[in-house]
Amino acid sequence: MRISQIEIYNFRSIKELVVTPGNLCALVGPNSTGKTNVLRAIDLVLGEGWTTKAKVARELFNDTSKPIVIDITFSSPITFTNKRGFNVSISSVKMEMTLEPELSVKTSINGDDTKPFYDNDQFKKLCHFILIPSERQLGSELRVSQWTMLGKLMKLVYENYITKYEGDEKNLKEAFADKIKPAKDFLEDDFTTDEVTYKKFVDTFKKYCKENSAGLANEFDPVLDIYNLNWFYKTLQIHVKEKFPDKHFDSDEVGAGMQNLLLISIFQTYSELMGGKVIFGIEEPEIYLYPQAQRALYKNFIKLSENTQIFYTTHNPNFVDAVRPEDLILLRKDEEQGTFALDKDTAFSTENAEKHKYRIYTHFNPERNEIFFARKVLFVEGDSDKILFSTLCEKKWGINIDERGISIISCGGKGGVSYFVGVCKLIGFSDYFAVWDKDRDLDKPEKLNEAKRGGKGLELDPNLEGFLNLPQGDDIDKVKNAHEWASDSTKTIPAEFESIKNFLEHDENVGTAVTDETAEVEINPDDIPF
């Protein structure tokens, strides 16, 4: 069970957006482009609390005079028998909200607005969405309440034990009171292969804790305590045992990174044990995690997505992979269109990605993955070019590249610059500028020539050192000389650099789709390794 298409109209920053997600869907882009709004829209329709008028607020509307419409289509129909004994098959769920002339919320199924959807209880047992916000409330999430993932799991475990005990809840509690030890043995028994048991929960949870903690200075082992067997599904406590046996901590006493790992491990456990009946949305899974843990978690996401659909927002290059472009939804925002998705269907086809996988690996890395998150990108050949323009921005141009969402990316040579210019053109990202040397020929210089003609490129003749009359040397000398030149107040900045400064300073094209100039350029997909 997964979502195959999402249509969102007039919701927050989104005027009109249609996306077709895969099982693993990374929503990427600069800050404030509307990534979270996509998750909130799904949550509004499929989340734990069914949409009611109480959830409707004025700030949800992009235009209060128009309705909010969120239409979610599933890859295959979800079927069940409703309370009246009728078979129901649901291929899509549509929600519509209005503020004018009066407040109204209507949810319908299968595109038929005349059929309100009331059988949501049965439906949500087979399909529901859980959103984990960026503001992690671990103390709340680790409580065994009916609203938390942990609480849902433990409640399901308990209900299954009541059924297996062949009695009612009262009899079960009395049996526990008389036979504490047998009760513990009963809890620790994996009596079925089809249902969620306490043993399955413990084993699965500890498995993910171990995997997610790979690379930690101190290994940690979760300890699950039940202080009241009569109410075990409500009294579960999670402690953390460090590498040394005498070190035990309450889960809310460990560091933020450890707490996030515990919460993510619960999410993974829930996902596996529910067997695909849940769709997850996670904001910034990378928060508080060190790089090794980020990479380990991303690999677990890939594995889990085989059976569970996962949506997530991220600003971290470790959570995107150019070899899996089908997972990416590239979002941008401008005043005219609101939040929109860049077109990557041509650029990132699975067929081409597989065909050129090696070259993709050689071109992309966490630094160059910033292309998916930046508002503007300046492509340069190497480290000396990068340090030169970074220093000019800081010391002479007064441009704070981090505040403005600018990435200066070292592409590993002229061929790399050409490569990423082609990528930008193919995905419809126009806010780039390229700088390269004339010191050697390129097999296919067309993309660089087109960038130069379109005012998006500057060729340095013969190279950076020759252009600025810098002394020659090895790579370290080149970086040192470039930094010193850019820091020297007596040096006159070449007039040719004015085009770079203007590009970095002005925002009129930030976040826009392909311009007329770039739209006219025909790119052969075979020329770009996607």
Quickly count helices (H) and strands (E) in the chain.
18, 19
DSSP state of 114: E
Whether residue 340 is predicted with pLDDT greater than 50 in this model: the reply is yes
Q: Which residues contact 321 (CB under 8 A, 6 or more apart)?
A: 298, 327, 364
Q: Report the percentage of the chain scoring pLDDT > 70.
A: 74
Token output for 435? 């700088």
Specify the higher pLDDT residue, 371 or 49. Answer: 371
271 has pLDDT over 60: yes
In 367-511, which ranges are continuous DSSP H helix?
383-392, 414-427, 446-453, 464-468, 475-487, 498-505
- In Å, how far from its chain's centre is CA 189? 37
Q: Which of 90, 99, 80 is nearest to 46 (CA)?
A: 90
| Best CA proximity match to 293, nearest among 185, 200, 219 | 219
What is the pTM for the complete model shown?
0.65
Query: Please, which pLDDT band fits residue 474 given cuts at 50, 70 and 90?
Result: confident
Domains, the chain, with CATH or none: 1-127+277-341 (3.40.50.300), 138-271 (no CATH), 365-527 (no CATH)
- Position 242 scores a pLDDT of 63
Over residues 219-231, the mean pLDDT reads 63
- Lowest-confidence segment of 329-338, 391-400, 438-447 by average pLDDT: 438-447
| Distance from C-alpha of 464 to C-alpha of 113, rounded to nearest angstrom | 64
Neighbours of 398 (CB within 10 A): 9
Mean pLDDT of 429-458: 86
Concatenate the DSSP letters of all residues of 186-209 into one string: HHT----SSS--HHHHHHHHHHHH
Torsion-angle region of residue 394: left (phi > 0), alpha (psi -120 to 50) or beta? alpha
Highest mean pLDDT (candidates 246-255, 301-310, 376-385, 422-431): 376-385
What mean pLDDT value characterizes the chain? 78
- Position 416 scores a pLDDT of 86
Ordered alpha helix ranges (H), 488-526: 498-505, 516-519
Residues 54-65 pLDDT 10s? 455 778 899 988
Among 365-374, 380-389, 467-476, which stretch is predicted with the lowest mean pLDDT? 365-374
Calculate mean pLDDT across residues 377-388.
92
**Local confidence band at 368 (pLDDT 50, 70, 90 cut-offs):** confident
Ranked by mean pLDDT, the top range of 241-245, 253-257, 486-490, 517-521 is 486-490
Tally of CB atoms within 10 A around 374: 22
Cβ 68 vs Cβ 33: under 8 Å: no
Give the mean pLDDT of 385-411: 90
Residues 332 and 342 sit within 8 Å (Cβ to Cβ): yes
Q: Which of 283, 276, 281 is nearest to 308 (CA)?
A: 276
pLDDT at 45 over 50: yes
CA dist 91 and 55 (Å) reads: 24
pLDDT higher than 60, residue 357: no
Q: How do residues 142-198 score in pLDDT, each as one tens digit?
A: 666 656 777 788 788 877 777 766 666 777 767 666 666 666 677 777 777 778 888
- Token look-up 């960038």 returns 451
Q: pLDDT category, 278, cuts 50, 70, 90?
A: confident
Identify the top-confidence range among 82-96, 185-199, 332-346, 498-512. 82-96
The strand order across the sheet containing 278-283 reads 112-116, 104-109, 87-98, 68-81, 3-11, 14-19, 338-341, 328-334, 24-28, 310-314, 278-283, 128-132
